[in-house]
Structure 1
């Protein structure tokens, strides 16, 4: 008697293709391609992110509900933004409310951009009863040391005139007193975890201003000014709390938001992809998997340094599951891909008739790549 071969079980765990498709959309198109060749294939979609832009979407795909509230944008403007909630756990994405991309149309504000909106979302989640808050801080527009975020959480930062200081690094220049007596009471009973994939200190040649300030529009003079302001801020926080966290790995993340979160809000830091995988249930999804498909817009050198596809490949390798990847373009040589745990990589640019097609019609191309993967890695069509 012939025993039927069980249908393959494929976990599709991509990051977004920035500017074209969300991670969930990538997974949907790849799944359609797999099913066009193997109709009975079992597909488990686990959209992921690395803790930056796309973290909230990955959480939503994992069952978190969006809650939309008033918040401040990167230049202090009133706007609406969302956080995710599932039970007593919340997910906040900095890029959602005060990210650099939000200034694409209005222009950068290196000296005055604020992290306040992230604090607005954290406060709203705590008001809602969150007992664990995961904060993805990638993609920040500001270099304010977490000043705005902490003000939104109830910290009072005043200048020599006794008034609250203004936003951004310029505000830090004026800060002479820090009063934490009004800090949100929910912080004392909640676990706050920051998704952070960099090890930069707050100040100095590897600090927030020197390394990331130019990306946010800071001139060389601005960088010098911001670095001095951050040092002043670190002195004030240390004098107030009795602890100096300016040299902690990751203190310089997101323009110093990492510093503010740890030094004042009592947060801990974890690698971003690792946190998202926990939220999304990736480890459980790998049980019994035949193949994992991951990907992002570009598989390049940056992929190997904390980006989601490399992290997915590492987790899958530990589970003994082979991995292939899809991407808009692939610049990593085969040897480096294999060293990262990726057995094969498929690029939209190789499938498309033109670069324009790859950017404007990635969905059908991903479906064609999904069909190829079904034939070449799952025995489809034989």
Structure 2
């Protein structure tokens, strides 16, 4: 039996490489003669740097930058000197895992540190950049990122400040004159983990805002701020990307990147799958194992398990997805090619315990499913 193992990270519990190894141990325990190929995956969120460096080589560069709440932290980006390629995760400097639950406050959080990472990559000589948008703690539409690179944002009185999600609507002037000149000579590919538009019921605020700390009662106010900001950007640039797939990624970061820079936006999963030659690897498999921390409706917007399943469905290869938790009625999963969704928690326990024991629970879940497969003629 040929098995391809290609999970995303289980956020807060294990990166995709660790998840791959746990799944490999589980399937090897039941099918010791199986040919197993592990392909740690990502979709533009955390793990993107590791996944790409594993495929093309390179090194991690450590830099001191600002976290979402403007505190100094050390974050990494990937750099491949031969290609002069930098790989940057928004999650590394501006990600939700960097904050305690009580610190999640989109009125204050900023993507400034991600801009500092790009600046450090330019200092190292990067001429190509892959910028992953997944996992942010922000709804600042990337204004912090642009401020770190020299862009000025002003209100109607001419005051300059770095906007956040709670006051985006005050922006009436965006001055790109100070934007880092080196960006003119850099090719930037934006790897988005979702296809959501900027506004509306499927947009940046309403779909992703609650997990970043926006209270239900404040959603309308945040949506209005984002809408006013978007109107000003469209007026200033003459370009309207509000309904472009991915414009809602990372709290509207995708919208500002498309509007204010010359970038190419791609599905993060598709980009990494192409680098890893995923199509041909899955075609030669008998079974594909994938997974992520939580499978819900957001998983259908370009996340790794569904991307893997769509490739496998075309090749006629069954897919089993493992997860920490699953939305009760995720019936759409079968339509995209996932034969089985298997939660890894097998007994009552706290979320903290489940995350701490992630590799152990994942390995055990793969064993259970493998044993079930053995009894089928």
What do the CA deviations read for 1:298-350 (whole angstroms, capped 9, x no partner)?
4444433432112111112223333223333456679755433233444323x
Instruction: Classify 1:89/1:281 alpha carbon distance in 2 versus 1 (closer, same or farther; 3 Å).
Output: farther
Distance 1:252 1:226 in 2: 13
TM-score, scaled relative to structure 1: 0.82
Deviations 1:154-189 (A, max 9, x none): 223344665531341466455443222332233323
Displacement of 1:262 in angstroms is 0.5
CA 1:217–1:289 in structure 2 vs 1: closer, same or farther (change >3 Å)?
A: closer
Separation of aligned partners in 2, 1:170 and 1:373: 46
Change (3 A) 1:56 1:378: farther
Local SS of the residue matching 1:44: strand
Per-residue deviation, 1:191: 2.7
1:164 counterpart = 2:141:
no
Tell whether the 8 Å contact from 2:6 to 2:290 is kept in structure 1 after alignment: yes
Do 1:323 and 1:343's aligned partners in 2 also have CA atoms closer than 8 Å?
yes
Match in the other structure for 1:3:
none
- Once residues 219 and 379 of structure 1 are traced to their aligned partners in structure 2, the CA distance between those partners, rounded to angstroms, is 48
The alpha carbon displacement at 1:201 in A equals 4.1
Give the corresponding residue for 1:80: 74
Matching residue within 6, 12, 21 for 2:5: 12
C-alpha separation in 2, matches of 1:206 and 1:365: 33
Asked whether the 8 Å contact 2:283–2:312 carries over to 1, the reply is: no
1:126 and 2:122 are equivalent in the alignment: yes
Structure 2 CA distance, aligned partners of 1:336 and 1:229? 33
The alignment status of 1:28 with 2:21, answered yes or no, reads: yes
Shift in Å, 1:114:
1.2
Matched residues in 2 for 1:216 and 1:43: separation?
37
1:47 to 40, 58, 62: 40
Alpha carbons 1:334, 1:344 under 8 Å: kept: no
Contact 1:237 1:263 in 2 (8 A): yes
| CA spacing shift, 1:363–1:170, aligned 2, 3 Å | closer
Quickly say closer, same or farther: Cα 1:42–1:147, change in 2 above 3 A. Answer: same
Query: 5 Å matches for 1:96-107?
Result: 96-104=92-100, 107=103
**Shift of the alpha carbon at 1:208?**
3.6
Q: For 2:103, what is the secondary structure of its paired residue?
A: coil
Structure-1 residue corresponding to 2:107 = 111
Contact 1:88 1:129 in 2 (8 A): yes
Give the aligned length.
Answer: 372
Q: 1:128 to 1:39 in 2, by over 3 A?
A: same
Asked if 2 retains the 8 angstrom alpha-carbon contact of 1:144 and 1:167, the reply is yes
Moved more, 40-49 or 253-262: 40-49
Aligned equivalent of 1:147, options 143, 146, 149? 143
- Is 1:68 aligned to 2:68, yes or no? no
Cα pair distance change 1:293/1:332, threshold 3 Å? farther
Give structure 1 stretches of 5+ with no counterpart: 1-7
Is 1:93 matched with 2:89? yes
Q: Paired residue for 1:5?
A: none
TM alignment of 1:273-352, pairs within 5 A? 273-329=269-325, 337-349=333-345, 352=346
Question: CA–CA distance in 2 between the matches of 1:110 and 1:217?
Answer: 6
Q: TM-score, normalised by structure 2?
A: 0.83
Structure 2 stretches lacking a partner, 5+ long: none
For the 8 Å contact 1:72–1:116, the answer to whether it is kept is yes
Does residue 268 of structure 1 match 2:264? yes
Contact map agreement 1:58 1:276 (CA 8 A) in 2: yes
Identify if the C-alpha distance between structure 1 residues 301 and 131 changes in structure 2 by more than 3 Å, giving closer, same or farther.
same
The CA distance in 2 between the partners of 1:367 and 1:25, in whole Å, is 11
Looking at structure 1, the residues matched to 78 and 52 of structure 2 have their Cα atoms a distance apart, in angstroms, of: 7
Of the two, which has the highest radius of gyration?
A: 1
Measured against aligned partners, the alpha-carbon deviations of 1:33-63 in whole angstroms (never above 9, x if no partner) come to 3333444433211111232233334334434
Q: Distance in 2 between matches of 1:109 and 1:143?
A: 10
CA distance in 2, matches of 1:261, 1:372: 45
Match of 1:4 in 2: none
* Preserved CA contact (<8 Å) 1:111 1:222: no
SS in 2 for 1:286: helix
Residue 373 of structure 1, CA deviation? 5.1
